[in-house]
Structure 1
């Protein structure tokens, strides 16, 4: 097997999953991460069975199961009378059906598990990426301090504002979706007596802009609360800012008492602008490709943003391992395997009606990145 030198821009969930999968196959990987270190930022990652199955294949299953919380059901409830419109068994039922459960885990715990599994020194912190150059025999990652990193392959896993994406396809900007998300973490004890705390529960509002989602976090000791409201524009500096709890509660004053009780327990919230892009017709050029939000940013209404990046990482590692002698062809096989599926999830997330009335979740949860055919579009919906 030909050993490849691979430079990954971005040390998030997708970039580290890719590095771990490539190292397991004997390739030389370095991640270039702008941040000086990983902190306990963010709140949650929903690892649905498709993502957990992928991570199980990297040997991370035990540590993630010990840290994360297993959702018992995926429940839909209506905003006014609280009636259930769907209830999908998860936990052991999902493991039996799909080969893995659904876990909710703090993003920092997931990053820590990935980092601990990587070869020491894989991540270069404080190494922001400024640009890219490439020729027929290789690609060069250009860092903000001017250092040039020669590689056989460069992967842009650097998020929605990807430098690598702009270098490949020109500058552009994501569109504000007209939605603001609110996130809070609440001690379970503050919600004593509330129903369905061990399930992923979504309260559907009278319009698509308003919804509340809750699920267990940190082994079930905490409950993550996620809500959205409509907004005409986003004029503030920064994409994530402290929010006003009273403003959030006022936006849901007409919701069922059990839903309002969730917001009443929130003491602090963070507010973020949600952005979208249309699905891309291409992700790759020569020896460079994109992964995760750099290729297909999506709103979080199907809880698949991190999951799609994890799937990308496994399929890309398989493609590079199989096609190490012809990297450009391997990258095309990777994106051909992924574009239709991720586009369907992007559009389904934006429509925000998935599983409202029940339905078949198999096309999302039953996908197995380790065995999906390379170079062939995955079934979508």
Structure 2
């Protein structure tokens, strides 16, 4: 196996997972991350069994389980009378069926576990990416300060505003979905009398613009609350601002008392817009490829954004390892393995009816990135 020099643009969940998987296979990896350091920002990452199984293969299982919270069930409830329309066993049942549980973990804890596992010197903070160039024998990652990093492979894991995607395929214009999301973290003790706090619960509204999702976080000590409302317009994609909690509560004034109690317990909320992109027909060119949100950003209604980045990372590492030094062919195999699955999940997330009335979750949760066939489209629902 030829040892490859790999430069990763972006040090988030997908970028670090890819680096770990590639380092485990003997490759030389460096990550270039624009942020000066990781702080305890953001709130949650919902890792469904497919993602936990993938991270377990990197030896991260104990660290994830030490701080993550297990959801006992995945429950759908109706907005007005609170009746359940579906209840899917998770936790031990998911571990038995899929090989891993569902875990909700603070984003900072997940990033910390990934960073701790990297080889020393892998992460370069304060290193924003400006572009990429490539030739027949290699690629060059160009940093904002003018530094040129020579590599055999460049991976664009730089998120929804991906510089690498723009360099490969030109600028694109995402469409505002008409939905604004609201996020808050609430101490569990503030929700006395609310049921199903140990489960992932979705309250389905009378129209697609209103829904509330909750699940346990930080060993179950906190509860994450996610809601959406309709809005006519919004500014920049990914723009997050403090939200008006009274505005949010007013939007849900006709919901079931338990649902209203969730919002009543929220102190501060953050608000951001949800944008839509169509699935991309191509992710790679020669020795440069994309993964995660850079390739397939999606609305969060199937809780698969981070999970798809983690799956991408494992499959990409496997494809490069199996490619016998033929990088373009390996990237084609990676892309062919992933494109149909991620497109199906992008579209399913946008449809926003996942498990509302029950159904078979196996095609999502039962996917194993370590053993899925390379070069063959993954089956979808």
Place the TM-score, normalised by the shorter chain, in its bin.
Answer: over 0.9
Please name the residue that 1:80 is paired with.
Answer: 80
Give the 3-state SS of the residue equivalent to 2:54 in structure 1: helix
Say how many residue pairs are matched: 381
* Uncovered stretches (5+) of structure 2, i.e. residues with no partner: none
Give the 3-state SS of the residue equivalent to 1:80 in structure 2: coil
User: Are 1:110 and 2:110 counterparts?
Assistant: yes
Deviation for aligned residue 1:235: 3.6
Please name the residue that 1:335 is paired with.
Answer: 335
Please name the residue that 1:286 is paired with.
Answer: 286
Q: Is the 8 Å Cα contact of residues 237 and 274 (structure 2) preserved in structure 1? A: no
Please name the residue that 2:355 is paired with.
Answer: 355
Please name the residue that 2:321 is paired with.
Answer: 321
Q: Is the 8 Å Cα contact of residues 41 and 108 (structure 2) preserved in structure 1? A: yes
* Cα deviation digits, residues 256-313 of structure 1 (max 9, x gap): 0110000000010000111121000000000000000000000000000000000000
Q: Is the 8 Å Cα contact of residues 7 and 155 (structure 2) preserved in structure 1? A: yes
* Cα deviation digits, residues 325-362 of structure 1 (max 9, x gap): 10000000000000000000000000000100000000
Please name the residue that 2:67 is paired with.
Answer: 67
Distance in 1 between residues matched to 2:7 and 2:55, nearest whole Å: 21
Higher deviation after alignment, 252-261 or 228-237: 228-237
Q: Is the 8 Å Cα contact of residues 316 and 334 (structure 1) preserved in structure 2? A: yes
Please name the residue that 1:148 is paired with.
Answer: 148
Distance in 2 between residues matched to 1:293 and 1:235, nearest whole Å: 19
Please name the residue that 1:169 is paired with.
Answer: 169
* Cα deviation digits, residues 71-125 of structure 1 (max 9, x gap): 0000000001100000000000000000000000000000000000000111100
Deviation for aligned residue 1:193: 2.1
Deviation for aligned residue 1:209: 1.0
Give the 3-state SS of the residue equivalent to 1:261 in structure 2: helix
Q: Is the 8 Å Cα contact of residues 46 and 103 (structure 2) preserved in structure 1? A: yes
Distance in 2 between residues matched to 1:230 and 1:306, nearest whole Å: 24
Distance in 2 between residues matched to 1:291 and 1:276, nearest whole Å: 17
Give the 3-state SS of the residue equivalent to 1:15 in structure 2: helix
TM-score w.r.t. structure 2 length? 0.99
Distance in 2 between residues matched to 1:194 and 1:264, nearest whole Å: 11
Q: Is the 8 Å Cα contact of residues 68 and 217 (structure 1) preserved in structure 2? A: yes
Distance in 2 between residues matched to 1:61 and 1:236, nearest whole Å: 36
Q: Is the 8 Å Cα contact of residues 237 and 273 (structure 2) preserved in structure 1? A: no
Deviation for aligned residue 1:173: 2.4
User: Are 1:370 and 2:370 counterparts?
Assistant: yes
Residues 212 and 238 of structure 1, relative CA distance in 2, 3 Å threshold: closer
Q: Is the 8 Å Cα contact of residues 6 and 28 (structure 2) preserved in structure 1? A: yes
Q: Is the 8 Å Cα contact of residues 127 and 144 (structure 1) preserved in structure 2? A: yes
Distance in 2 between residues matched to 1:4 and 1:68, nearest whole Å: 34
Please name the residue that 1:220 is paired with.
Answer: 220
Deviation for aligned residue 1:324: 4.0
Give the 3-state SS of the residue equivalent to 1:296 in structure 2: coil
Residues 233 and 39 of structure 1, relative CA distance in 2, 3 Å threshold: same
Residues 196 and 237 of structure 1, relative CA distance in 2, 3 Å threshold: closer
Residues 294 and 236 of structure 1, relative CA distance in 2, 3 Å threshold: closer
Deviation for aligned residue 1:13: 0.2
Please name the residue that 1:8 is paired with.
Answer: 8
Q: Is the 8 Å Cα contact of residues 79 and 255 (structure 2) preserved in structure 1? A: yes
